[in-house]
A = this chain, B = another copy of it.
Amino acid sequence: MSVEFELTPKTKRPAGERCCEPVVYPDVDRERATRLAEVAKALGDPIRLQLVDVLRKHAGKVCVCELVPLFDIGQPTLSHHLKKLREAGIVDSERQGLWAYYYVRPEALEDLAGWLG
């Protein structure tokens, strides 16, 4: 709802001139910003971003054992990245026997995409 507020720097030069138009408060409050930033942060790693890219393009759920050879990192590290994505709400997983299946939860991404406009 964008409340305006006034502020002028203490220096009044050039005489009486403002340094810029009055600024508006952020539309996104701190809480929403924290949520959006959480998603953005989770995407802020090349491997995680590629992971999401693969999972998104893949219709169904993808087994971890298929993901490992795609990336030049160890399996524990990949597991760590998947956990980060899960904690950010970007992906979720199911276990079936020995295998673990990951899939994208589009809502989180849509939220960020919506803000980006």
Band of interface residues on A:
35 or more
Residue in B19, B58, B98, B117 whose CB lies within 8 Å of A23: B58
CA distance A24 to B69 in the complex (A): 12
CA distance A45 to B38 in the complex (A): 7
B40 touching A53, Cβ below 8 Å: no
How many copies of this chain?
A: 2
CA distance A52 to B50 in the complex (A): 25
B45 touching A9, Cβ below 8 Å: no
Q: What does the 1/0 interface line of A25-38 toward B look like (CB < 8 Å)?
A: 11110100110111
28 contacts between A and B (CB under 8 A): A13-B97, A20-B63, A20-B66, A20-B99, A21-B60, A21-B62, A23-B54, A23-B62, A23-B67, A24-B54, A24-B57, A24-B58, A25-B70, A26-B57, A27-B53, A27-B57, A28-B50, A28-B53, A33-B53, A37-B44, A37-B48, A40-B41, A40-B43, A40-B49, A41-B45, A43-B44, A44-B44, A53-B115
